[in-house]
C-alpha cells in the first residue's frame, strides 16, 4: 500500500465535512433537519452582479486563461472599495492580489513565509484552517487564548512574557469569528507595534466587516501597518457570493509579490465572468449594505430568542454572520449540540471546533430564513 505524506497525519478532515455527512444522512432518512451550523449565505447577490457575470460569458476573452493577478479593472475596484470603506490607499498595480476565495490565501501566505519549525500565533478560539494549514506546511501552532473577560481580544502583554523568538506569523481576525467581537480603537495600533517589536508578520482575516457592523475597519489603516501586516478579505459574506470564490490579499507590494510567487504556481487565473461580477459587487452603494443588514437584524433577533429558549447568554454588541452563545454552567458543547440534533432536529455548531476556549459555547448561523428560525424556536419551546 502506498503511504500518504507525513503532513497528512498532522491534520484531520474538516469538522463540517464530517458532520454534514451525518446531517445529510438524517435528511435522507426523512428527518426535517434545520441547519444553523454553516455560514453559507442563502441570500442572492446583487442583480447587477449576476448580470455582469452573464454578460461576461459572451466576451471573446471569457474562455481564455486569465492573468494570475486578475483583471486590472478588478484590482482598481478593490482599491476603490478599500479607499471608500476603510480609508486605505492601495496601489492597484502592486498592492492587491485577487484570490479564489480568501481561504486559499491562508495556504499561499503560509507557503510563502513559513519554514519547517517556524512558530505561528493562532487565536483560540479561531478559524480552524489557521491551525491545519500551519501543520500542513510543517510549522508549529502556538495558541494565544481569547476570552470574554477581555472581549475576545489578544492580551499582548501576556504574550510578550513568552518566548517569541521562533514566531514568524500571527493570525488575527476582527471582526472576530466565531465570537463576533469587534476591534477596539487601539487594538490594531497595538498589534502593529507588537509586530514591529518582534519582527512578526501579522495577517488580519477580515471577511465579516460589513455584516451587522456600522464601522468597518482595516488593520492597514494604522500608520506603518504595511511594513508588518497583510489583510485578507472576501466577497463571500458581504455580497452573498460564497460559491463564486472571490477574495483578495492586500498589503505592501513586496509581501504581495512573495505570495504571488506561490499562487502563480497553483492556478491559472480566475474565470473572466466571475471577475466581471466581482467588479460590480465592489461598486455597490451603501444602500446594499443597509438592505442586507436589515434582513440579518431580523434574523438575529430570532436567533436571540432561540438562544434564550436554550437558556444561553450572548453579547448583543457582537457583529458578523453568527451568534456566539454561552451555554449554562457545566454543559459541554458537543454533547449539547448532539442532543439538540437528535431530539429537535436542529444542527448548531459546537464552540469546541474553534479551540479549547470554545468549550461551553455554541454558534448559531444567521443563514436561515425567518420562517426557518421561527420553526426552530417552536421546536425548542
Tell me the range of 11-15, 241-245, 370-374 where mean pLDDT is highest: 370-374
User: What is residue 256's predicted lDDT score, i.e. its pLDDT?
Assistant: 97
Of 90 and 61, more confident:
90
User: What is residue 35's predicted lDDT score, i.e. its pLDDT?
Assistant: 92
Q: Examine the pLDDT at 89 and tell me if it is beyond 90.
A: yes
Lowest-confidence region among 9-13, 233-237, 302-306: 9-13
User: What is residue 169's predicted lDDT score, i.e. its pLDDT?
Assistant: 98
Find the mean pLDDT for residues 100-124. Answer: 95
Find the mean pLDDT for residues 93-97. Answer: 97
Sequence-distant (6+) residues with CB within 8 A of 276 are 52, 53, 55, 56, 59, 71
Sequence-distant (6+) residues with CB within 8 A of 363 are 37, 178, 322, 323, 324, 325, 348, 349, 350, 351, 354
Find the mean pLDDT for residues 202-215. Answer: 95
User: What is residue 98's predicted lDDT score, i.e. its pLDDT?
Assistant: 96
Instruction: Using a pLDDT cut of 90, give the percent of the chain over it.
Output: 84
Q: How confident is the model at residue 1 (pLDDT cuts 50, 70, 90)?
A: confident
> 247, 257, 272, 204: which is closest to 105 by C-alpha?
247
Burial class (CB in 10 A: 0-12, 13-18, 19+), 69: buried
Give, as one character, the DSSP assignment of residue 83.
Answer: H
Report how far residue 170's alpha carbon sits from residue 219's, in angstroms, rounded to the nearest whole number: 13
User: What is residue 304's predicted lDDT score, i.e. its pLDDT?
Assistant: 98
Q: How confident is the model at residue 15 (pLDDT cuts 50, 70, 90)?
A: confident
Question: Could you identify the residue written with the cell 463540517?
Answer: 16
Find the mean pLDDT for residues 195-213. Answer: 96
Q: Examine the pLDDT at 29 and tell me if it is beyond 90.
A: no
pLDDT in tens, 241-276: 999 899 999 999 999 999 999 999 988 899 999 999
User: What is residue 5's predicted lDDT score, i.e. its pLDDT?
Assistant: 83
Report how far residue 156's alpha carbon sits from residue 159's, in angstroms, rounded to the nearest whole number: 5
User: What is residue 181's predicted lDDT score, i.e. its pLDDT?
Assistant: 96
Report how far residue 161's alpha carbon sits from residue 181's, in angstroms, rounded to the nearest whole number: 25
Lowest-confidence region among 21-25, 84-88, 148-152: 21-25
Hey, how many other C-beta atoms are within 10 angstroms of the C-beta on 246?
28
Q: Examine the pLDDT at 16 and tell me if it is beyond 80.
A: no
Indicate the SS3 state at residue 168. strand
Nearest-5° Cα angle at 360, 367 to 350: 35
What would the 3-class secondary structure string for 85-120 be?
A: HHCCCCCCCCCEEEECCHHHHHHHHHHHHCCCCCEE
- Contact predicate 88/226, CB 8 Å: no
Find the mean pLDDT for residues 332-336. Answer: 94
User: What is residue 6's predicted lDDT score, i.e. its pLDDT?
Assistant: 85
Q: How confident is the model at residue 86 (pLDDT cuts 50, 70, 90)?
A: very high
User: What is residue 20's predicted lDDT score, i.e. its pLDDT?
Assistant: 77
Q: Examine the pLDDT at 168 and tell me if it is beyond 80.
A: yes
Q: How confident is the model at residue 318 (pLDDT cuts 50, 70, 90)?
A: very high
Hey, how many other C-beta atoms are within 10 angstroms of the C-beta on 160?
11
User: What is residue 24's predicted lDDT score, i.e. its pLDDT?
Assistant: 82
User: What is residue 34's predicted lDDT score, i.e. its pLDDT?
Assistant: 93
- Contact predicate 323/180, CB 8 Å: yes
Q: Examine the pLDDT at 21 and tell me if it is beyond 80.
A: yes
Instruction: Using a pLDDT cut of 70, give the percent of the chain over it.
Output: 99
Find the mean pLDDT for residues 319-347. Answer: 94
User: What is residue 144's predicted lDDT score, i.e. its pLDDT?
Assistant: 97
Q: Examine the pLDDT at 36 and tell me if it is beyond 90.
A: yes
User: Which cell numbers hold the place of 82?
Assistant: 478599500
Q: How confident is the model at residue 185 (pLDDT cuts 50, 70, 90)?
A: confident
- Contact predicate 63/69, CB 8 Å: no
- The secondary structure of 289-356 as a DSSP string is HHHHHHHHHHHHHHHHHHHHHTT-EE-TT--SSEEEEEPSTT--HHHHHHHHHHHH-EE-EEGGGG-G
Sequence-distant (6+) residues with CB within 8 A of 337 are 347, 348, 349, 350, 362
Burial class (CB in 10 A: 0-12, 13-18, 19+), 158: exposed
Mean pLDDT, the chain, integer: 94
Report how far residue 121's alpha carbon sits from residue 159's, in angstroms, rounded to the nearest whole number: 10
Report how far residue 30's alpha carbon sits from residue 36's, in angstroms, rounded to the nearest whole number: 18
> 162, 153, 221, 157: which is closest to 192 by C-alpha?
221
Report how far residue 33's alpha carbon sits from residue 31's, in angstroms, rounded to the nearest whole number: 6
User: What is residue 226's predicted lDDT score, i.e. its pLDDT?
Assistant: 97
Amino acid at each position: 500500500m502506498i503511504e500518504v505524506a507525513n503532513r497528512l497525519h498532522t491534520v484531520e478532515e474538516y469538522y463540517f465535512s464530517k458532520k454534514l455527512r451525518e446531517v445529510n444522512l438524517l435528511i435522507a432518512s426523512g428527518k426535517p433537519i434545520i441547519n444553523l451550523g454553516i455560514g453559507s449565505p442563502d441570500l442572492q447577490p446583487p442583480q447587477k452582479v449576476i448580470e455582469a457575470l452573464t454578460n461576461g460569458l459572451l466576451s471573446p476573452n471569457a474562455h481564455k486563461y486569465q492573468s494570475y493577478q486578475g483583471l486590472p479593472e478588478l484590482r482598481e475596484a478593490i482599491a476603490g472599495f478599500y479607499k471608500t470603506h476603510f480609508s486605505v490607499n492601495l496601489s492597484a498595480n502592486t498592492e492587491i492580489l485577487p484570490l479564489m476565495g480568501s481561504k486559499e490565501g491562508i495556504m499561499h501566505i503560509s507557503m510563502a513565509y513559513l519554514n519547517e519549525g517556524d512558530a505561528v500565533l493562532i487565536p483560540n478560539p479561531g478559524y480552524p484552517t489557521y491551525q491545519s494549514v500551519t501543520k500542513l506546511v510543517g510549522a508549529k501552532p502556538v495558541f494565544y487564548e481569547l476570552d470574554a473577560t477581555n472581549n475576545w481580544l489578544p492580551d499582548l502583554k501576556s504574550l510578550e512574557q513568552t518566548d517569541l523568538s521562533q514566531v514568524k506569523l500571527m493570525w488575527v481576525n476582527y471582526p472576530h469569528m466565531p465570537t463576533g467581537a469587534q476591534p477596539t480603537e487601539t487594538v490594531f495600533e497595538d498589534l502593529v507595534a507588537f509586530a514591529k517589536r518582534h519582527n512578526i508578520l501579522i495577517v488580519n482575516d477580515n471577511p465579516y466587516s460589513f455584516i451587522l457592523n456600522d464601522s468597518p475597519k482595516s488593520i492597514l489603516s494604522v500608520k506603518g501597518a504595511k511594513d508588518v501586516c497583510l489583510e485578507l478579505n472576501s466577497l463571500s459574506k458581504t455580497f452573498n457570493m460564497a460559491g463564486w470564490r472571490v477574495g483578495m490579499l492586500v498589503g505592501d507590494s513586496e509581501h504581495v509579490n512573495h505570495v504571488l510567487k506561490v499562487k502563480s504556481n497553483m492556478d491559472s487565473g480566475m474565470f473572466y465572468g466571475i471577475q466581471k461580477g466581482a467588479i460590480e459587487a465592489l461598486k455597490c452603494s451603501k444602500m446594499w449594505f443597509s438592505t442586507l443588514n436589515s434582513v440579518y437584524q431580523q434574523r438575529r433577533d430570532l436567533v436571540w430568542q432561540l438562544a434564550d429558549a436554550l437558556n444561553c447568554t450572548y453579547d448583543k454588541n457582537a457583529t458578523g454572520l453568527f451568534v456566539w452563545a454561552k451555554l449554562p454552567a457545566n454543559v459541554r458543547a458537543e454533547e449539547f449540540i448532539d442532543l439538540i440534533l437528535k431530539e429537535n432536529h436542529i444542527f448548531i455548531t459546537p464552540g469546541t471546533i474553534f479551540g479549547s476556549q470554545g468549550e461551553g459555547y455554541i454558534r448559531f448561523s444567521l443563514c436561515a430564513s425567518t420562517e426557518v428560525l421561527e420553526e426552530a424556536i417552536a421546536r425548542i419551546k
